Structure 1
């Protein structure tokens, strides 16, 4: 099927899935063309139209997502640039735009008929991320196992070297940011349950702390959009630190009488000597350590996500900050999405 044939398909009601399938066929006919090369060609087209250099470069994940099934929206102008970059002429490109708009009207009409209101506007700045269920199960399992392993390595490192941070939630943060809050919860429960393997017998009681961190990171970047800018992400890590300390303090006081064997126990004793209330002393020490730990954990997780996004095209539409940080690898990116 040629590009003109794909553009002129008018039988039946058009849909985003049909357009995506035709785009994949057009890309295969053209080479296939790598996503990195498509980004380069689209950038040249936009520069030729007079756009600034900053506005001309599309995110590689955004271009990749245009070719995927299950879309709830599709930017007609981006589709136009994609097909032009794949060799279609202006007339054919205009027909692709018409198809996108027709599919949007059909989607909105279907939504109204179900009583759910119009479909979201195509100009939404944060398109929905690819759901975990559409990923290859083996890829999801491998990532979750890796995250649990990272948490256990962090626990072991702190236990052996008596560090003043925790390092027990790096894997939790990665899973929550990349896959979602409840994937982060799964990693939290598994790693705390296996914490005894690192020589630390006190990890199981602190499972709720790890779970709360997963929920804060996961929902923070999805529901509250705190992954859009660096300032928002810093705020998210501080919120995780506060939430974790609020949950950890009663556990430390009730089950360990203020001392769980961590190096911060000495600071609790020092604050007690100033006649501060015991609960206040434990919380004050915990929050200081937690802020340092969660900032370190959050930015390590951010770096891991950027690598996954840049090298394997892991979707990051819910975290625009990732699209700014991720390196653009040449060639065909391997994909975790199925």
Structure 2
């Protein structure tokens, strides 16, 4: 009869040990450490806080904002990163990688690693059954599953820098092209924040703010005027709400949630844009279609401010829904790529 000694030192019989799977921990611990480093060296205490919040949200918020009732201790998180563990809780590992920015689909791959990666225990022969029962299997001689042998390789510093630069430049180009299309085709949209939405999800709110600001300055020579510069606060507000909503609020984990977040972005941008449009441009901007909507609302008796707000909100809702959909479709895969780059594909159930 085999007896398992738990990490805490308690002895458990076979009926308890059979409910756990021994994990080839050094490989997973190294992968977790690499992921933590790529996420900016997040402290174990911060990871524990994020997991507590995540579990509270998953249960419908019953634990409150601070995650009361769902707390995970710092020591529990630290143990998951410590080499030499003989066991790991797959649910804990999944929550750890989610808290470090990995998307849900990739996180399930980590669960698969935890439940399938086991050090091989040599099968005792009939001659040495009694002696082998008191001998531990040699971890160094245990073959590792193919799905975990090379998993956990991450982007080097130079690779990550190049990928970030390429993403920012591509997002800037998308914003500029979208803004020009609106003017050329006289569309009742803006289309100058699609790249901002992508960057907000893939890299975070402040990267998105940088893209939003540079977009407005880069559009000056294209338009031949500086009419877009007063609207920089509008672009900043959208970048921050998208970024924090997606990364801190986990609202990028489903299409309905993120599209709802995009509607909030549209409303916030309108609140900021209307006073600028009314005060600086007397209600009219370089967007011909938006100006036409303003005229229509004024023709039914609305005053200038209300007409500007109505036309801007109408255009902004459709505009931000389009930008949000593209941002979710492109930003989530990019975020996963930034988080970790396995050398061999994980087995996703």
Interval of TM-score (by shorter of Structure 1 and Structure 2): 0.5 to 0.7
Q: Partners of 1:138 and 1:21 in 2: how far apart?
A: 32
* TM-score normalised to structure 1 length: 0.58
Q: 2:283: which partner in 1?
A: 258
TM-score, normalised relative to structure 2: 0.57
CA displacement at 1:235 relative to structure 2: 1.5
Does the alignment pair 1:193 with 2:217? yes
5 Å matches for 1:51-130?
68-70=35-37, 72=44, 73=77, 74=80, 76-78=88-90, 82=113, 85-86=116-117, 88-89=119-120
Question: Are residues 148 and 308 of structure 1, via their aligned partners in 2, closer, same or farther at CA, if it must alter by over 3 Å?
Answer: same
Unaligned runs of 5+ in 2: 1-6, 8-22, 45-76, 82-87, 94-110, 123-135, 140-153
Deviation at 1:82, TM superposition (A): 2.6
Asked if the contact 1:155–1:198 (Cα under 8 Å) also holds between the matched residues in 2, the reply is: no
Q: Deviations over 1:178-218 (max 9, x none)?
A: 11111110001101111123326322111111111001101
Instruction: Please give the root-mean-square deviation of Cα atoms over the aligned residues, in Å.
Output: 3.7
Answer whether contact 2:200 2:246 (CA < 8 A) is retained. Answer: no
Question: Using the alignment, how far apart are the partners of 2:296 and 2:115 within structure 1?
Answer: 68
Matched length: 228
Q: Cα distance 1:25–1:265, how it changes in 2: closer, same or farther (>3 A)?
A: closer
- Equivalent of 1:22 in 10, 21, 26: 26
Change (3 A) 1:288 1:69: closer
Look up the SS of the partner of 1:314 in the other structure. helix
Distance 1:20 1:156, change over 3 A: farther
Partner Cα separation in structure 2 for residue 25 and residue 215 of structure 1: 33
Alignment of 1:187-336 (within 5 A): 187-199=211-223, 201=225, 202-262=227-287, 263-308=289-334, 313-315=337-339, 332=344
- Note if contact 2:270-2:312 (Cα within 8 Å) is conserved in structure 1: yes
Cα pair 1:23 1:67 within 8 Å, conserved: no
Unaligned 5+ runs, structure 1:
1-7, 9-18, 27-63, 96-129, 317-328, 334-338
Match of 1:138 among 162, 170, 173: 162
CA distance in 1, matches of 2:27, 2:342: 20
Are the counterparts in 1 of residues 24 and 117 from structure 2 also a CA contact under 8 Å?
no
Conserved? CA contact 1:84–1:90, under 8 Å: no
- Displacement of 1:138 after TM fit? 2.4
- Closer, same or farther: CA 150–25 of 1 in aligned 2, 3 Å: same
The structure with the largest alpha-carbon Rg is 2
